[in-house]
Structure 1
């Protein structure tokens, strides 16, 4: 018998009423799941999280191949790495953080009770679809939220298949039915219906600028991320050979579809020749002036960036431009003499093409790095290769970003996979990028805390709250087929004793009645 989740994956008509009706159907199921999930203890929650992470890991290669076949771009081997990194390593990074039990601060006489957001509506991009949905699903589960995902239409088929797999793994491990759902046929009107619904508690927007802005203007709380355009500065004190190797490895990783990839390489005359030689040794092809012009015209049309080039490998792009390059070329380096709106190659390029600019002085290099980010990418990421600590501080203080990667590949480093930053596929761009969050987005952003504060006076004793965390482990009700739990139309929740539970059957029944009463009130709103 199929879970209700999969029965809800039906075609959506173009009428506004039908779109709202389908949104209500899925969001009501998600609200129910979130209300039930809120009762889970941490052990049960993490069992579900680990089960889903294992499923994501086990199918990382399969979905990497399918995404490349469906989208037509990227490198399956690299997508497999990203899919794996957003599974078990992601969970392990946050394993010691407790988003379930109250935090007790005896010194300040404060108890902090975690409050999940509830229902998350999450947008995923075409460039990193499986890694992003893995990331967002696991974040939601770690914080006991329900999530409805909207895949990019270009990778819809594989995304739906992947989410169904994760949903099964979650439910088999004990998650409420409907905790993880996905839109089967996403369109802009359908997405807007979900974003504007008062049943959506928060929107996680990863995608184009227009979609992120729509999320912020929906009237619902939103966590959005802006575009990248990372400058990378190679200082005269850098290990030039290692810097070149890291930059080429980063720019060629998954054919540069990560928004954290290096976009413009800035260096100084003292190391220009040495750096070019090192880049060639690492697999880069340095374009001539005429080749750069052909490349510029190919990548940028009057209506914008040539989407056919997104995620294509360097040799394919070179062939389309009529540029003869060695078969093992990993990236194309295009020298430019200026940075600004007049130079199209100083904009973001989600393909293995790296602009190269030689500044006259270090002060000018810092100014040009800032100029790159003024074009696009404010608040996002930047990188520097140097052995001088003062250069690091000068650069980090100058560029208007919230991540500066030092002596590491920026693609992986800013996302937390070649540095000790929090691993993420949702990069907060903060005040510089007109976003609400400046750090790498993580599960901590999907849970708020109710603070219970005692009288600060020494004559008022503080209670003993240790050991009073969540302890409900089952048996939990199933999603209602019609109505709400406990109603005449809904199936009654099963009564299966759990040996691990510290709650007796009478307490469980009372808890179910409380859930039913609360949900009836919620559904009347």
Structure 2
């Protein structure tokens, strides 16, 4: 008996054991659906998801203690109606004919997608991965982080009911109700999984890539935000405050360190202070906050997604209630300094910079610490500097806006996403914001370029074939 057979048997020993088999059967049926039938399901699911965004945002914060309800709502809306509106009219489940090149392309779904859902953005990721799978005619099995199991299962169950009422076969959307590391590892290695969509910490992403199955994962971010002073400092300060405070900095595209030209640095700090940012001046206070966030040098999970008020209270520091972000000035980028690393709480590093080259070197050092292929940000009216900034080893340059909203496509022309591809720089296969196009491949019928070879009635044949198998 082979290893894969043993894995399937081990899965059969738990309630979720027949999920993969059910998903494979459902995926084959769903793959026959017409684009019109798929659109009907997608639109029904997106409408309910958007309508219920605030409800689940409150549930997330209540269950996990992470983030801000208002900001969770924005993420949920962007990952439902915003996502579907962006891709409306694009073809992920039909065919295309290029008469000039004599090539016919037929969309082929992956099959069964195993979708890991993190605790930091649980419902937005659930919405996003369900809708990506539906738009591309894939079955999806959601594997929740235990810390957010309730809201993930609740939202998935609601969207499943809506989708099945709109005609989706049973088994296309499933959710693991009692997640465990052992079960996840076994499922990831199963030959009944066709693609793993991994959003989470480095450990689960590495496990997905080493599973033996195709996988799309994300990498960490560490966003340096360069302010050169050529634009409005008030606008730059507002955008950086939005970025660092958005959902209490629960996002890998959020600002980690502001890199500000020395001649405007003091004015920038004043502008930040008008936007709810408090610079810590006392060395003892800075050390107290450090000890709360990284006690004994190790990361404190209890601080994830907590507010500036919570952090200050734990550190024994008194701050005004309008303070949303704590700021610590640093004199260099140092991988041993927690204030220059990626953060999952509203604490902003601040570094005075002398020129573009120095800013570039600082951002490069931050990316080397963790963030290759991810995101960098800039506020500038100098196009030459913006182009120079784009040479950093990242695939998103958030320009003149709040980095998490711009890079994730919620406030830019990029695709809305909860999975940011980090490409070759980040040792990944996808560099762009992951979308339904990454969950399909295309079979291509290619005719000889001999002029005597013509397409004939291939379009009619494709129509007949499509009608014969479509729902």
Superposed pair shares fold, TM > 0.5: yes
**Residue 127 (1) aligns with residue 120 (2):** yes
Contact in 1 for aligned 2:356/2:385 (Cα 8 Å):
no
Aligned equivalents of 2:464, 2:166: Cα separation in 1: 17
Contact 2:308 2:346 in 1 (8 A): yes
Q: Is 2:297 the counterpart of 1:299?
A: no
Residue 430 of structure 2 is matched in structure 1 by 437
Aligned equivalents of 1:383, 1:349: Cα separation in 2: 16
Q: How far apart are 1:470 and its partner, in Å?
A: 6.6
Instruction: Name the residue aligned to 2:321.
Output: 327
Q: Hey, what's the Cα distance between the residues in 2 that align with 1:294 and 1:107?
A: 68
Equivalent in the alignment of 2:408 = 415
Instruction: Tell me, in whole angstroms, the C-alpha distance in 1 between the residues paired with 2:207 and 2:462.
Output: 38
Contact (CA 8 Å) 1:122, 1:204: kept in 2 or not? yes
Normalised TM-score (structure 2): 0.95
Q: Which one is further off, 296-305 or 444-453?
A: 296-305
Query: 1:270-349 counterparts in 2 under 5 A?
Result: 270-290=263-283, 291-302=285-296, 304-349=298-343
Residue 215 of structure 1 is matched in structure 2 by 208
Q: How does 1:230-309 map to 2 (within 5 A)?
A: 230-290=223-283, 291-302=285-296, 304-309=298-303
In 2, the alpha carbon distance for the partners of 1:467 and 1:207 equals: 46
**Equivalent residue number for residue 139 of structure 2:** 146
Work out whether 1:77 is the aligned partner of 2:70: yes
Corresponding position: 1:43 with 2:50:
no
The root-mean-square deviation of aligned C-alpha atoms, in Å, is 1.8
Deviation at 1:16, TM superposition (A): 9.4
Identify the residue that residue 518 of structure 1 maps to in structure 2.
none
Match of 1:428 among 421, 431, 434: 421
Segments of structure 1 that go 5 or more residues without pairing to the other structure are 1-14, 474-501, 513-525
170-179 or 317-326, which moves further after superposition? 317-326
- How big is each residue's C-alpha offset from its partner over 1:258-295, in whole Å with a ceiling of 9 and x where there is no partner? 21100111112111111001000111101114122222
Q: In structure 2, which of residues 7, 11, 18 is the aligned counterpart of residue 19 of structure 1?
A: 11
CA drift at 1:19: 3.2
Contact 1:101 1:470 in 2 (8 A): no
Is the contact between residue 296 and residue 344 of structure 1 (CA under 8 Å) also seen in structure 2? Answer: yes
Alignment partners' CA distance in 2, 1:292 and 1:358: 18
Does the aligned pair in 2 maintain the 1:285–1:333 contact within 8 Å? yes
Partner residue, 2:129: 136
1:47–1:347: structure 2 CA closer, same or farther, 3 Å change rule?
A: same
CA contact (8 A) 1:235 1:267 kept: yes
**Could you tell me whether the CA contact under 8 Å between 2:262 and 2:353 is conserved in 1?**
yes
Q: Once structures 1 and 2 are overlaid, which stretch shifts more, 357-366 or 47-56? A: 357-366
Distance 1:421 1:306, change over 3 A: same
1:391 aligns with 2:385: yes
Displacement of 1:313 in angstroms is: 0.9
Query: 3-state DSSP class of the match of 1:418?
Result: coil
Q: Is the 8 A contact 1:383 1:410 kept in 2?
A: yes
Q: Any conservation in 2 of the 1:40–1:471 contact (CA below 8 Å)?
A: no
The separation in 2 between residues aligned to 1:184 and 1:56, in whole angstroms, is 20
Structure 1 residue 223: deviation in Å? 0.3
Distance 1:138 1:169, change over 3 A: same
Q: Which residues in structure 2 correspond to 1:85-96 (within 5 Å)?
A: 85-96=78-89
Work out whether 1:53 is the aligned partner of 2:46. Answer: yes
Residue 170 in structure 1 maps to residue 163 in structure 2: yes
> Whose Rg is larger?
1
